[in-house]
């Protein structure tokens, strides 16, 4: 019985020439892909170094914030034995043979002109290589607590020469009845009751009362009470740190 030529070829497998051609083609393809794998590996390694350097810079800045303001100097940060060896100009992470180089700068904070009560600290971490991809830089600004105490007073919001203004409005001013609106404040242990002209009934629904020349500050509490034909309401105690405005609901739940 005659066997077709194609069937006989399939039965005997690949020839040596075919195998050599296949091996050569596979080698060419793999050789072309090697740079791709090498580049991906290099990028992954670079990303790991970049993350590590960022963590180192962040760690150094956190430790800087914990120092006394006077101890934040370039000499101290460059000293590998300062603060129990928490600083210095080089660092090798545990279980790693990669050494990172660290540099610092300490200067008055430039906002908008040099502020001597603030320090700007810059930490730059560099690992093996050159160029911007091998450098991580982070900054922080630290304030001198002593300067804060020196500038703080009991009146951080000084009253302007003309005093503050307090305006009181109502849901419906025509519902306000005698004694109307009372304002009081306490200053240096003495209670004051500034007055303003009131005439009942008020002429319109949108009528407003205004007190001027009032003192302000965090040490002067104010109390305001309004009496209407439906309710007597007292606003929460507050402090005038700027011109104030209060609106009373003269008929809660009503129209």
Query: pLDDT (tens digit, 9 = 90+) per residue, 41-61?
Result: 555 555 677 788 888 988 999
Residues 6+ apart with CB under 8 A from 193: 182, 183, 184
CA–CA separation, 217 vs 187, rounded Å? 10
Dist CA 182 CA 83 (whole Å):
60
Mean pLDDT, rounded, of the chain:
82
What SS3 string covers 49-85? HHHHHHHHHHHHHHHHHCCCHHHCCHHHHHCCCHHHH
pTM surpassing 0.75?
Answer: no
The matching CATH number, chosen from 1.20.140, 3.30.70, 2.40.160, 2.60.40, for 164-248 is: 2.60.40
Question: Which residues, in sequence order, are CB contacts of 185 under 8 Å at separation 6+?
Answer: 191, 192, 194, 214, 215, 220, 221, 222, 223
Residues of the chain with pLDDT under 70: 1-14, 34, 36-47, 111-115, 128-133, 147-158, 255
* Cα first-last separation, the chain: 110
Largest pairwise CA distance in the chain: 129
Locus of tokens 């150094």: 60
């Amino acid at each position: 019985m005659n066997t077709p030529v194609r069937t006989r070829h399939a039965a005997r497998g690949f020839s040596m020439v075919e195998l050599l051609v296949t091996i050569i083609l596979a080698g060419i393809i793999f050789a072309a892909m090697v740079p791709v794998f090498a580049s991906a590996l290099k990028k992954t390694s670079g990303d790991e170094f970049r993350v590590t350097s960022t963590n180192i810079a962040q760690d150094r800045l956190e430790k800087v914030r914990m120092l006394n303001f006077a101890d934040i100097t370039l000499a101290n940060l460059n000293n590998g034995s300062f603060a129990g060896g928490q600083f210095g100009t080089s660092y090798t992470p545990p279980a790693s043979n990669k050494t990172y180089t660290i540099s610092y700068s300490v200067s008055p904070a430039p906002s908008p002109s040099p502020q001597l009560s603030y320090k700007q600290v810059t930490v730059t971490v560099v690992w093996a290589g050159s160029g911007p991809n091998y450098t991580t830089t982070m900054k922080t600004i630290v304030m001198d607590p002593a300067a804060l105490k020196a500038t703080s007073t009991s009146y951080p919001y000084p009253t302007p020469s003309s005093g503050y203004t307090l305006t009181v409005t109502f849901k419906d001013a025509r519902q306000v009845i005698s004694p109307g609106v009372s304002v009081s404040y306490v200053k240096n242990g003495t209670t004051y009751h500034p007055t303003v002209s009131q005439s009942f009934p008020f002429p319109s629904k949108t009528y407003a009362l205004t007190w001027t020349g009032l003192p302000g500050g965090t040490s002067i509490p104010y109390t305001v009470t309004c009496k209407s034909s439906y309710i007597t309401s007292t606003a929460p105690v507050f402090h005038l740190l700027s011109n104030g405005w209060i609106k009373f609901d003269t008929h809660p739940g009503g129209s």
